[in-house]
């Protein structure tokens, strides 16, 4: 099995350069959580995650940063600026992965942040603003909820939610500790995050960089189709109340209607459960999860409204809907988008201005400070998979673009 870590980090070469680039840092992080099949697993608060967090802490200290780790597991470093009183610029992403995930998701953004400050150190650049790095914990879906670390930091985490106290206790944490980990953002200028696209658009266009306009909202619903169980052999088709058929019709409608409304609107029926789930019984209850994503809530609201209306027209069954998650979309700061565009032009990097369909830590940070994000290509659009891949030149471009943008932002007060 091909293992990118075996070829992407050359310690002798990095010492010769007297600096570490994004690929070097990424592959050092990739020493933790590597599976035999070449994929990576670093789950929230796991030993693999802790090893990666310890490594990042040591790398930040090597850059003369003061470090700490909060109760949520967010590894944090601070490099003081030369002008007292100026607000901090925060860089970061996450260290955890999905089970059997890839090398690049999240970790590349942490690596790009380290590489930008490493390059500044080598070139003798002293930033006016304080520079901070966060390596967030629990961004991927987990028992404490996706974006766990960044939600705790921004005060978007509800430790009083049902079962949350017990779940926190299972990780050796308390709600009081989570509340204490909330940060005051009054002294922060902005947050920047580099990430792989996790989609096919940049690779299809052969573009090295995406400048993100915003992060799509995520809305999930529990949908139940109610029918009547009966013998599959003796119940004629015209007399059936088949919950599976009813749910199938609704899913197909949701897919078709989504395609009609907007190219960037997406609809997924990701889970389905059937009762009694027997080969010789007409199903009487089918439960599914409907997820829809778009930057504009008006479109997701329109889609679920249309789905509910159509459900009323499906004969022989009834439906019930329960909202499970509402996470509205958020826009990236337009001024930071322009800074990234100017930085890309300086580096002669062509770019695509694009929304993000996936959620990121920037989504949580945007509740408190202006945010900016950049993407680099994902080969074949593959992510959350051991086959996840981004070319080394594009990984390095991420660190270079962050560095260039930092210099532009640092000139501002």
43 is in an annotated binding site: no
C-alpha of 366 from chain center: 13
322 is in an annotated binding site: no
61 is in an annotated binding site: no
User: Which residues is 219 bridged to in the sheet?
Assistant: 292, 326
58 is in an annotated binding site: no
293 is in an annotated binding site: yes
379 is in an annotated binding site: no
Residue 315's Cβ-count burial label (10 Å; 0-12, 13-18, 19+) is exposed
384 is in an annotated binding site: yes
How many Å is the Cα radius of gyration of the chain? 23
94 is in an annotated binding site: yes
How far is the C-alpha of 99 from the C-alpha of 312, rounded, in Å? 39
How far is the C-alpha of 138 from the C-alpha of 348, rounded, in Å? 35
Helix 22-29 with 47-62: angle, nearest 10 deg: 150
- Binding annotation: 94, 105, 140, 195, 220, 280, 293, 384
- Binding annotation for allantoate: 220, 280, 293
- Binding annotation for Zn(2+): 94, 105, 140, 195, 384
């Amino acid at each position: 099995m091909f293992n990118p870590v075996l070829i992407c980090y050359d310690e002798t070469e990095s010492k010769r350069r007297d600096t570490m680039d994004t690929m070097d840092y990424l592959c050092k992080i990739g020493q933790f959580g590597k599976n035999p099949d070449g994929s990576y697993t670093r789950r929230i608060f796991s030993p693999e995650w802790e090893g990666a967090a310890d490594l990042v802490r040591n790398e930040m200290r090597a850059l003369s940063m003061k470090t700490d780790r909060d109760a949520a597991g967010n590894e944090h470093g601070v490099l003081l600026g030369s002008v007292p009183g100026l607000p901090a610029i925060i860089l970061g992403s996450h260290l955890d992965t999905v089970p059997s995930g890839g090398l690049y998701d999240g970790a590349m953004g942490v690596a790009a942040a380290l590489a930008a400050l490493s390059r500044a150190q080598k070139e003798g650049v002293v930033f006016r603003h304080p520079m901070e790095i966060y390596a967030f914990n629990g961004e991927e879906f987990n028992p404490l909820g996706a974006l766990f670390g960044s939600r705790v930091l921004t005060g978007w985490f509800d430790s009083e939610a049902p079962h949350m106290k017990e779940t926190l206790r299972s990780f050796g944490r308390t709600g009081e500790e989570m509340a204490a980990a909330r940060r005051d953002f009054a002294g922060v200028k902005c947050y920047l995050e580099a990430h792989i696209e996790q989609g096919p658009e940049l690779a299809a266009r052969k573009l090295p960089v995406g400048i993100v306009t915003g992060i799509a909202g995520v809305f999930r619903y529990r949908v139940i189709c109610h029918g009547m169980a009966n013998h599959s052999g003796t119940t004629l088709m015209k007399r059936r109340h088949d919950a599976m058929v009813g749910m199938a019709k609704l899913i197909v409608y949701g897919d078709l209607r989504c395609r009609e409304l907007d190219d960037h609107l997406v609809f997924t029926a990701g889970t389905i459960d059937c009762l009694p789930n027997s080969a010789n019984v007409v199903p009487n209850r089918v439960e599914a999860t409907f997820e829809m994503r778009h930057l504009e809530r008006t479109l997701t609201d329109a889609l679920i409204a249309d789905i509910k209306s159509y459900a009323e027209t499906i004969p022989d069954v009834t439906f019930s809907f329960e909202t499970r998650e509402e996470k509205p979309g958020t826009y990236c700061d337009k001024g930071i988008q322009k800074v990234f565009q100017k930085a890309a032009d300086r580096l002669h990097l062509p770019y695509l201005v694009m929304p993000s369909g996936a959620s990121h830590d920037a989504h949580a940070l945007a509740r408190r400070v202006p945010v900016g994000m950049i993407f680099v290509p994902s080969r074949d659009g593959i992510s959350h998979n051991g086959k996840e891949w981004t070319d080394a030149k594009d990984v390095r471009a991420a660190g270079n673009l962050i560095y260039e943008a930092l210099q532009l932002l640092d000139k501002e007060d």
